[in-house]
Amino acid sequence: MKRQSGSFMTIIFACAATLAALAIPLRAPLAQRQPIRLVAFGDSLSAGYGLPQEAAFPATLERALKARGHNVEVINAGVSGDTASAGLDRLDWSVPEGTDGVILELGANDMLRGLDPAVPRRAIDAIVQRLRARGIPVLLAGMVASRNLGAAYVQNFDSLYPEIAKKHGLVLYPFFLDGVAGERSLNLQDGIHPTAKGIEVIVGRILPTVETFLARLSPR
């Protein structure tokens, strides 16, 4: 009886070892299927002003990235009317824990209101620093000033994005509205906010930069 009991226990241990060995490779694919979580943090241009949510920038970008084989989730944290300072005020609750990267798009409303470029410069720099302190990388999407604001204003405003990007070693997309600004057919009647087609143009142009950004992110 003792010999049979010993043999039985040997079989049990062998089966347990086999199951444990099988369980190890099963956990890896589950981890790999966890999506990269991006937050599109900005103003009405990110929020999708005048558009259904499925046509807004975050949802359109997510579909485009998935079509190229990226396992991503893009969260819409855009608030219409936000200045860079307003974005800084809501940063901590708008960018949740578990975020892998932020696409930062702010400053257009500062420019439209004619605010001193030093104001959005300080706010955007502070946003970047606070996110970096949390270990969250940033892709900075730039804006350019309306040329009727004067050469000095244009120089001071336009330069804040590449200078902040250089200071912090960020991936920079120089102009969020590239290919859309000034194109009547790609904007709503206000001439400021992109149509669904305009958003598709923006996503098509920013996509390579976002992929460069994704390549920098560390897996969770």
Check if the beta carbon of residue 102 is closer than 8 Å to that of residue 131: yes
Check if the beta carbon of residue 34 is closer than 8 Å to that of residue 25: no
Within 13 A of 21's CA, how many CA atoms are on the CB side?
6
Task: Say whether 44 is catalytic.
Answer: yes
Look at residues 135, 35, 43, 21 and name the one whose alpha carbon lies nearest to residue 88: 43
**Active-site choice (5, 185, 190, 218):** 190
Inter-helix orientation angle 160-168/151-158, to 10°: 20
**Active-site choice (43, 110, 158, 193):** 193
188 membership: H or E segment, kind and range: none
Residue 135 CB neighbours (<10 A)? 9
**Active-site choice (44, 46, 85, 110):** 44
Angle 161-164-166 from CA coordinates, rounded to 5°: 105
Burial zone of 6 (CB within 10 Å; 0-12 exposed, 13-18 middle, 19+ buried): exposed
Which are the catalytic amino acids? 44, 190, 193
